[in-house]
Amino acid sequence: MITVTIAGSSIEVAAGTTMQHICDENDTPVTFGCRAARCGACMIKVMSGADNLSPAEPDERAVLDVLAMSPDCRLACQTTVHGAVTIEVAD
């Protein structure tokens, strides 16, 4: 199991779990819209452990290039967790 910390709350999950599943199964402040790398509603800011996330695919990268306010941002609906990570909801 690995620890994912979202807005100060620590959640234990199995490696390979999607961030979307983690948020759906727990009370987190991350919100979702399209769930398909189109709207940017699920944008998160990675505070630590960025290397423990799946790499951004072209669809996610295209949204981040337009909407992300920081290079530390990712889309929760497109991200899989492979190690400890700490995230906050992006502004």
Residue 13 vs residues 10, 22, 42, 60, 75: alpha-carbon distances, Å: 10, 8, 19, 23, 18
Q: By C-beta, is 1 or 21 nearer to ligand FES? A: 21
- Of 6, 42, 53, 87, which one interacts with ligand FES (CB under 6 A)? 42
> How many residues lie near ligand FES (CB under 6 A)?
13
Closest approach, Cβ 51 to ligand FES, in A, equals 21
- Of 7, 15, 29, 38, which one interacts with ligand FES (CB under 6 A)? 38
Name the H helices within the chain: 19-25, 58-67
- Of 19, 37, 64, 90, which one interacts with ligand FES (CB under 6 A)? 37
Task: Give the binding range for ligand FES (CB under 6 A) out of 8-16, 21-29, 38-46, 80-88.
Answer: 38-46
